[in-house]
A and B are shown apart, each in its own frame.
Chain A
Amino acid sequence: MQDNYQSSSYKELEQKSKYTNIFLRWFLYFVLILFASYFIFPLYVMVVTSLKTMEEIRQGTLLTWPSSLNFDSWLVAWGGRGYGAGDTFLRPYFWNSIKMVVPAVFFSTFIGAMTGYVLTKWRFRGDQWVFLFLLFGCFIPFQAILLPMARTLGTLGISNSVVGLVLVHTVYGIPFTTLFFRNYYISVPTELVKAARIDGAGFFKIFFKILLPISAPIIVVTVIWQFTQIWNDFLFGSTFSFGEAAPIQVALNNMVLSSTSVKEYNVDMASAIIAGIPTLIVYVLAGKYFIRGLTSGAVKG
């Protein structure tokens, strides 16, 4: 953050008596760190638990550090124990999720870019209403479309398949991607487009030569948003797929809920980390863009 954006209240504090000042600063940091520990606590517990043996889990507490770094639970969560039937592990479902996320993110981003482009640079009568028409799709509770969607996927012969989930996620991603691109392109001067049109440039040429080269930031925001939403989806995944076609969140939930034999919390935690790590990595690497998506599109599915 730039300095001039920072609250000037710090100066105010400086003028006060030194002791109040020091006390206030300590209080600030105390509260901030207290909350930080509340937020970090579950992640810490997940990681530590996944590295312990069941014996250690029963003896120690949530916070106890593992006696050794033991990645066995991770291997079991990822690749199973190798005893065949009934041995559930995440690897195949992880790939299901990849196969679902990549095309769905691509299609929804592409369609969103196109509609955002038309809505801002090729305006027509009633385009405001068309935008509102699309935007409302961001907010509908998906319960209101689950039943007909299940039937439609059945009719199309793609229920319980990755293809079906790609379709679902593409369609219900369009309102968000349109919103992102529309809000971005609206700040691009229309004069640029007009000048290009006078020079004889067509619809697609203008898009690829003028708009696309300056779209990198919004493409990153959109791709990250869509990736996170689709990767983390559970409602569609659990309603429209089961068994081998399930995405990773569904598989994780099934693994954790399965009541066979003894509960292995270390494997559960390792599984949860594996299911969460792709979005977490994206967040850590590109947090700025993730937050921009959150605060501008600002609805979580």
Chain B
Amino acid sequence: MFKWLEKNLPKIVMAPAVGLIGWFVYGFVLWTLYISFTNSKILPKYELWGFGQYEKLWASRKWLISVDNLLVFTALFLIFCIVIGIILAIFLDQKIRAEGVLRTIYLYPMALSFIVTGTAWKWILNPTLGIQKMFIDWGFENFTFDWLVNREMAIYTIVIAGVWQSAGFVMALFLAGLRSVEDEIVKAAKIDGAGLFTVYWKILLPMMRPVFFTSFVILVHISIKSYDLIVALTQGGPGISTTMPALFMTQAAFHKSQVGLSAASAMMMFMAVAAVIIPYLYSELRRENAR
């Protein structure tokens, strides 16, 4: 008995983690999947109902707007975060004075919650007292900046705040990547007469392909899950113009008693994340095994 215990101790120690994740992650996802095939309203029902909830979901105007917003947000969020991140990383890589201070400034938003930063941005973007008033007081009397309360433009305020929060993170990833490149490679290129621009554009950036890939995966992941920032900044409004899938899901589940529908929307989010993450994990693991 004692022998057995000793031999299996590592597995026994592993058991809680595997059990908890098995139950609370995989078990729960399967439960949600099952519920998405039922006609559950306020309470879960266990009678199968087929794809009805998915049909309802894709016929819902609010869901379509959510998906549309997610696509717009993701595209802009990705482009701006990566472009700003790369510019900052390359510029910081030029033997800059006070590099530490600048890095700290670029990255501190990552330490704050979206609720805290959302509160700040909401105040800054507030049309009566925020930026708009600042410019009017400075003498630009016709200046308007009412994106926060403008149906067409409100989604872009979420982009502004989201990019502000996450661009520094991309900068950190690229800076780490650039710093890990062997000096010899750069020196050799310079001996061959390559200028600074060519060195980055033709040699260093192409070497950063894994960093691009990682940034892409993480940013897409953040954007699919975005919830807090929208709650803090617009609550999905004005109207439902800035609603996104994560917000749709929680509202359907906890405010509108559409448990089945919310489960279906959660599964759509799950599949979107899985489509990005599984290839990523696969390639990461292969790289590790190749080492």
**Complex contact A148–B18 (CB within 8 A):** no
With A234-B228, A282-B111 as contacts: A49 and B270 at CB distance below 8 Å: no
**Complex contact B106–A256 (CB within 8 A):** no
1/0 per residue B13-38: CB within 8 Å of A?
11011101110110111011001000
Min C-beta distance of A210 to chain B, whole Å: 15
With A9-B186, A28-B91, A63-B134 as contacts: A234 and B115 at CB distance below 8 Å: yes
With A147-B262, A232-B112, A276-B112 as contacts: A58 and B253 at CB distance below 8 Å: no
CA distance A234 to B110 in the complex (A): 15
Instruction: Kindly list the 7 A-B residue pairs having the minimum CB-CB distance in the complex, ordered from nearest.
Output: A232-B113, A122-B10, A283-B111, A276-B116, A61-B134, A145-B28, A143-B266
Q: Does A132 contact B (CB under 8 A)?
A: yes
In the bound complex, residues from chain B placing their C-beta under 8 Å from that of A175 are 21, 25
**Complex contact B196–A12 (CB within 8 A):** yes
| Closest A residue by C-beta to B273 | A141
Min C-beta distance of A104 to chain B, whole Å: 13
CA distance A41 to B160 in the complex (A): 13
26 A–B contacts from the bound complex (CB under 8 Å): A12-B190, A40-B105, A42-B124, A45-B124, A60-B137, A62-B129, A62-B130, A115-B14, A115-B17, A130-B14, A132-B281, A133-B18, A133-B22, A134-B21, A144-B32, A146-B253, A147-B259, A174-B21, A202-B9, A228-B111, A234-B114, A253-B232, A265-B129, A269-B123, A275-B116, A276-B113
1/0 per residue A44-79: CB within 8 Å of B?
011001000000011011110000000000000000
**Complex contact A272–B21 (CB within 8 A):** no
In the bound complex, residues from chain A placing their C-beta under 8 Å from that of B199 are 9
In the bound complex, residues from chain A placing their C-beta under 8 Å from that of B130 are 62
Q: Does A26 contact B (CB under 8 A)?
A: no
Q: Which stretch of B49-57, B71-79, B151-159, B214-222 is in the interface?
A: B214-222
Min C-beta distance of B128 to chain A, whole Å: 9
Which range holds the interface residue count of chain A?
35 or more
With A32-B92, A269-B119 as contacts: A149 and B28 at CB distance below 8 Å: yes
In the bound complex, residues from chain A placing their C-beta under 8 Å from that of B249 are 143, 146
CA distance A100 to B72 in the complex (A): 36
**Complex contact B222–A300 (CB within 8 A):** yes
In the bound complex, residues from chain B placing their C-beta under 8 Å from that of A301 are 225
**Complex contact B6–A202 (CB within 8 A):** yes
**Complex contact A140–B29 (CB within 8 A):** yes
Q: Does B236 contact A (CB under 8 A)?
A: no
In the bound complex, residues from chain A placing their C-beta under 8 Å from that of B94 are 7, 9-10, 13, 28
Q: Which residues of B from 160 to 201 have beta carbons under 8 Å from A?
A: 164, 166, 168-169, 172-173, 176, 178-179, 183, 186-187, 190, 195-196, 199
Q: Does A142 contact B (CB under 8 A)?
A: yes
Q: Which stretch of A80-88, A156-164, A288-296 is in the interface?
A: A288-296
Q: Does B65 contact A (CB under 8 A)?
A: no
> Which has the most chain B C-beta neighbours within 10 Å: A7, A12, A124?
A7
| Closest A residue by C-beta to B122 | A256
Q: Does B84 contact A (CB under 8 A)?
A: yes
**Complex contact A57–B129 (CB within 8 A):** yes
**Complex contact B106–A35 (CB within 8 A):** yes
Q: Does A243 contact B (CB under 8 A)?
A: no
In the bound complex, residues from chain A placing their C-beta under 8 Å from that of B285 are 128, 132
In the bound complex, residues from chain A placing their C-beta under 8 Å from that of B250 are 143, 146, 235, 239
In the bound complex, residues from chain A placing their C-beta under 8 Å from that of B21 are 133-134, 137, 171, 174-175
Q: Does B63 contact A (CB under 8 A)?
A: no
In the bound complex, residues from chain B placing their C-beta under 8 Å from that of A124 are 10-11
CA distance A298 to B11 in the complex (A): 28
**Complex contact A62–B270 (CB within 8 A):** no
**Complex contact A295–B176 (CB within 8 A):** yes
CA distance A299 to B106 in the complex (A): 18
Given contacts A42-B121, A265-B126, 15 further A-B contacts (CB under 8 A): A4-B183, A7-B186, A9-B94, A61-B137, A62-B130, A118-B14, A134-B17, A141-B246, A141-B269, A147-B44, A171-B20, A249-B228, A269-B119, A276-B116, A300-B218
In the bound complex, residues from chain B placing their C-beta under 8 Å from that of A41 are 124
**Complex contact B10–A295 (CB within 8 A):** no
